[in-house]
Structure 1
């Protein structure tokens, strides 16, 4: 019974961590879409696939929206982001899965 409870807690935590969507900041009036790109990378057998996305622009970022189309990846903001003019986003897949993300950056 103790092992079942531990497994249930672990499964719940993994389901919450393996998010398919992330958003930092918020859109405001008069914001414009500064960058929108689709990033893909094929799977590798029993390996985690990663990719770093770098954005450097002339306008201040107000919101970053990342959608995982494959539903098996984890995005994280490494540096920059809302309030700055640059951002580095780390994209990571689950073991044995591919990357398929849509990244949108808004600002003014």
Structure 2
């Protein structure tokens, strides 16, 4: 059995296109909707975060595409493991919650 087949190439390209498509969809949302761009500009961000939404979208595309390829390699070699996936999902759910909490105005002062 060969180490890498044409089916592996096809699957790795498809796995890379899925997160890249999500990044492109985010870019289109930011590019077409001025309200979303204004929302992005109004967010409280760390000093190192990109200020321009186009820079953020380009970085998003460059970082998300390899994640699909990496997930395919993990699936090919070890199968998707539930515990690391659950930890990753819990971390990003907490991260999304904390970002929302940080950017919500304080109520009932």
Q: Shared fold (TM-score greater than 0.5)?
A: no
Q: Larger Rg: 1 or 2? A: 2
Q: TM-score, normalised by structure 2?
A: 0.27
Which one has the bigger helix percentage? 2
Which one has the bigger strand percentage? 1
